[in-house]
Amino acid sequence: MSDWIAIAAMVVVAGGLPIGVVLVSRLLRPSVPERQKQKTYESGEVPTGDTRIRFSIQYYLVAMMFLVFDVEVVLLIPWAVYLVQDPSTYVPAFVFIVILFIGMGWAWRNGAIQWIRPKGRERVRPRDV
Amino acid sequence: MNAGSGVDVDLMEAAIWTETMSEFLGVDPGPVGTFLLAVVGAVFWGSVVLTVVGVSGIWFKRKFNARLGDRVAINRVGPAGLLIMPADSLKLISKEVVVPEGADPLLYRLAPMLAAVGVIAGFAIIPWGAGLQLADPEVGMILAFAFASLLAIPIVMAGYGSNNKYSFMGFEREVAQAIAYEIPLVVSALAIVPLVAYFGDTTSPLKMSEIVAAQQGSLWGIDGLPIPNWFVFAQPLAAALFFVAVLAEFSRNPFDLPEAGSELVAGYLTEYGGVNFVLLFLAEFAAIFFGGALFTAFFLGGGAGPLLPEPVWFLGKTFAFFVVVQWLRATVPRIRIDQLLDLGWKYLIELTFLNLLLTGAIIWVM
């Protein structure tokens, strides 16, 4: 129990630091609002276009791969803890990881873990830039 | 999970800061007293961490990088430029905060604060030494990874909230990178868990103190071998993979793509200045030390070492990790984002899983 009390105390102390720094800064800093200062930085040019651009669909595929793997890792943690007490649990875990590898190979082959698909495989619609 | 004998539990409980302090004071504090003692401990370790982070982030980093590039760097402000630390902090804190137009003011202002809170709070579970660790829950290692992956969220808030195209690209990269290297990070560390259970003879091998305790004998438990059983020797592949994954998880060179000075200006930091920049910068450097502390606890035997007390060795090893990270910064060129994803998904994940299987097989045979 005292572990979690201590973690709560650390969160409180860690939370006090940024709040304190921001408050001190508020006392010290000037405030001279001006429209030109508030422009977003675009290498000195006048900002153009919308910032909230679309993501490529590949991005979501990678995210889904992550979800799958994250759940599998969560399932493996109890096994790693328990392995020494009962080494025969190795066999099901081995099968589990082999299945995982097969899935990984499939995703790899289908290009689910690429940042950008190569041009050759692209559909007719041009990519949104 | 709590299958240890009563004696063991007593010993473990005594290894926490609050227990040590209440024993030292000779009183039995209630929950409130425990909380107050924990606050004292948190302030102490928080100050230690912030001091180390401040010295290394503002002064040492610049000096060291300049030395690697055969330059001198800061040498005017005080002896060896040491007074740059108060000067720089004061300068940054007293700067005006300009919220860029079109930015989400809440996300923009909240992100730096959250970043600092998450990273510093993570130091609660670092095993500085027997009796000095603030908290030692049974899920220690998992909690450590939870804190480690927390930094990605403020970066998303900062990148999205800034309404800047560089920031936006920076956070896109950060997310892709954080999720690609999260899995190798956890799985490579998972490979030491059976070893902790084996050498530490424990039923709670995720505890940080148990992980350190299991590394204290000689290598592989062979009597008389002069090499310690640090998991960097017992599990060299896991150590190497974990090191790479930590670098990528906290966006250090050669994986510093979310910031990528020469491509994205400063990535998600582009629109930040003044006190908000201080907090994000602090969180970033504290994260390096958090990663270093995890590496020290998992692979470098924690506070093990001759003569000097445990916390000194622990901090020293963590600092050595920081020096190596800065060394890489000055020597290794940045890789491309698609190369980064390839490395993470196509090599690191497979290697970490194979290493885990290999470890399990060795444990099974033994």
Min distance B215 CA to chain A CA atoms (Å): 16
pTM as predicted: 0.86
Query: Cα B111–B112–B117 angle (5° rounding)?
Result: 100
Query: What is the distance, to the nearest Å, from the Cα of residue B263 to the centroid of all Cα atoms in its chain?
Result: 26
Instruction: Report mean pLDDT in 10-residue bins for chain A, 129 residues.
Output: 83 89 88 82 78 77 85 89 85 90 86 68 53
**pLDDT beyond 50 at B14:** no
DSSP assignment letter at B214: T
List Cα–Cα distances, B291 to B36, B118, B286, in angstroms: 28, 13, 9
How confident is the model over B286-315, as a mean pLDDT?
A: 87
Nearest chain A residue to B188, by CA: A73
The residue in chain B having the minimum alpha-carbon distance to the alpha carbon of residue A34 is B98
B22 to A24, A84, B175: CA distances (angstroms): 34, 35, 43
**Residues of chain B contacting A64 with CB distance shorter than 8 Å:** none
pLDDT on residue B320: 92
- Is-contact B275 A25, C-beta < 8 A? yes
Interface pTM, i.e. ipTM? 0.81
Q: Report the 10 Å Cβ neighbour count for B323.
A: 15
- Tokens read off for B141: 């290692």
A24 vs B171: CA distance, rounded Å: 29
Mean local confidence (pLDDT), B89-95: 87
Q: Does B274 touch chain A (CB under 8 A)?
A: yes
Average pLDDT over residues B260-280: 83
pLDDT at B195 (0 to 100): 86
Residue in B closest to A30 by C-alpha: B96
Handedness of CA B295, B122, B267, A51 (dihedral sign): positive
Distance between B137 CA and the closest CA of chain A, angstroms: 6
pLDDT at A128: 54
For chain B, percent of residues with pLDDT exceeding 70: 95
d(CA A120, nearest CA chain B) in Å:
17
Enumerate the residues of chain B whose CB falls inside 8 A of the CB of residue A90.
360-361, 363-364
Instruction: Give the whole-angstrom CA distance, residue A20 versus residue B240.
Output: 39
Query: pLDDT confidence of B99, banded at 50, 70, 90?
Result: confident
pLDDT confidence bin for B253, thresholds 50/70/90 = confident
Query: For residue B165, which residues of chain A lie inside 8 Å, CB to CB?
Result: 40, 42, 49, 51, 53
Q: What is the per-residue pLDDT for B290?
A: 92
* Chain A residues with CB-CB distance to B17 below 8 A: 6
Please state, rounded to an integer, the average pLDDT across all residues of chain B. 83
Given a cut of 80, whether residue B79 has pLDDT beyond it is yes
Q: Which DSSP string do the residues of B70-84 spell out, in sequence order?
A: T-----SSSGGGTTH
* Residue of A74 and B226 predicted with greater confidence: A74
- How much is the pLDDT for B3? 40
Tell me the nearest-neighbour CA distance from A66 into chain B, angstroms.
6
Find the closest chain A residue to B32 by CA distance. A5
Q: What is the pLDDT of residue B241?
A: 92
Beta bridge partners of B118: none
| B2 vs B186, higher pLDDT | B186
Residues of B in contact with A45 (CB under 8 A): none
CB B256 within 8 A of CB B330: no
pLDDT reported for residue A51: 77
Residues of A in contact with B39 (CB under 8 A): 9, 12-13
CB contact residues (below 8 A), chain B span 51-80, against chain A = none
Closest CA to B189 of B147, B248, B243: B243
Mean pLDDT over residues B16-24, rounded?
Answer: 76
| Burial tier of B89 (Cβ tally within 10 Å: 0-12, 13-18, 19+) | middle
Q: What is the pLDDT of residue B361?
A: 87
Long-range pairs for A15-24 at CB < 8 Å and ≥24 separation? A15/B113, A15/B117, A15/B121, A17/B46, A17/B50, A17/B116, A17/B117, A17/B120, A18/B112, A18/B113, A18/B116, A18/B117, A18/B279, A19/B113, A21/B93, A21/B275, A21/B278, A21/B279, A22/B113, A22/B275, A22/B279, A24/B93
Length of chain A counted residue by residue:
129
A28, A51, A88 member nearest B94 (Cβ): A28
Distances (CA, A) of B110 to A19, A61, B42, B114, B220: 10, 29, 23, 6, 48
